[in-house]
Structure 1
Amino acid sequence: MEFHAYLLRCNDGSYYAGHTDNLETRFAQHQSGALGGYTAKRLPVVLVWSQAFASRDEAFAAERRIKGWSRAKKEALIAGDWRRISDLARNRQGGKG
């Protein structure tokens, strides 16, 4: 079974990170407002990034990591700009490592 971490862009321009074992169904739930909460108040939502993982633990870890990222870093992830992600990570650490 495959698990996914994903990132949605909400109607207000904010981002929502999550994880699931069925990306298509979960996206439909977000889009319809069936899940309530954060995304239901910011419809419509657009799936802007997802990645498959072998385990739920890995997908959940990716979700938690992304939730802690800055908006700039999330946008670099969406763009697939790994160099920018790395630069932003170094800047957050005060130029270290």
Structure 2
Amino acid sequence: MDSYYFYVLLCADGTFYGGYSTDVPARVATHNAGKGAKYTKTRRPVRLLYQEAFTNEHDALSAEWHFKHQSRKAKEAFLDGKDVKWR
């Protein structure tokens, strides 16, 4: 069974980046190599804060979309609710 992941990175400038992948460690390495997303390219290094597995791609992409469309305060509350140490 394949797994699909929603993940959250902490960028060097203190911003959050939400993404989707089937291989989170490889994707984080790609971000840190400057080949990930345009957003993270200039905000390296990035650090993985959170990842969540889903059984289907739709749900993982939906989690990514919802995270990206929240305010900074809501993103912080989401991470705090998951007991993620990001501060």
| Number of residue equivalences | 82
Q: Deviations over 1:64-92 (max 9, x none)?
A: 0000111111112222259xxxxxxxxxx
TM-score normalised by structure 1 residue count:
0.77
Distance in 2 separating the partners of 1:72 and 1:15: 11
Distance in 2 separating the partners of 1:47 and 1:58: 20
The answer for the alignment partner of 2:48 in structure 1 is 47
When residues 5 and 15 of structure 1 are mapped into structure 2, their CA distance, relative to the original with a 3 A threshold, is: same
1:69 corresponds to 2:61: no
Unaligned stretches of 5+ residues in structure 1: 83-97
Residue 27 of structure 1 aligns to a residue in which SS? Answer: helix
Unaligned stretches of 5+ residues in structure 2: none
Q: Tell me the percent identity.
A: 35
**Higher RCO, 1 or 2 (CA under 8 Å, sep at least 6)?**
2
- Say which one has the larger Rg: 1
